[in-house]
């Protein structure tokens, strides 16, 4: 069963308190998502480190329950 948008958002917000998350269902199948994550925790981190922080929120669910997630990270101004 695919991971719902609400569950994706909750996982990210748990891992990155204070973040904002914008989700898009890329294929209309609740299985291919794009997320724009804005979080103060990204400040001073490389883009790769930022993405790792987001993916870490899902642990072993990536590639299974969460099939595909395209990530865009933003440092708040």
d(CA 12, CA 20): 9
Quick: pLDDT tens for 10-38. 999 999 999 999 999 998 888 889 999 99
In this prediction, residue 36 carries a pLDDT of 98
In this prediction, residue 1 carries a pLDDT of 77
Name 37's Cβ contacts closer than 8 Å, sequence gap at least 6.
Answer: 12, 16, 19, 20, 21, 54, 71, 72, 73, 74
- Total domain count, the chain: 1
Q: How many CA atoms lie within 13 A of 61 on its CB side?
A: 18
pTM over 0.85? The answer is yes
Greatest alpha-carbon pair distance for the chain in Å reads 37
- What's the domain range around 46? 5-74
In this prediction, residue 62 carries a pLDDT of 86
Question: Could you tell me the CATH number of the domain that includes residue 41?
Answer: 3.30.300.90
In this prediction, residue 68 carries a pLDDT of 86
Quick: pLDDT tens for 37-74. 999 999 999 999 999 999 999 999 988 888 889 999 99
């Amino acid at each position: 069963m695919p991971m719902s948008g609400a569950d994706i958002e909750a996982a990210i917000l748990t891992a990155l308190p204070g973040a904002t998350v914008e989700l898009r269902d890329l294929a209309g199948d609740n299985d291919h998502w794009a997320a724009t994550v804005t979080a103060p925790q990204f400040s001073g981190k490389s883009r790769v480190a930022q993405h790792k922080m987001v993916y870490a929120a899902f642990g072993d669910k990536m590639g299974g329950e969460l099939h595909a997630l395209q990530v865009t990270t933003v440092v708040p101004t």
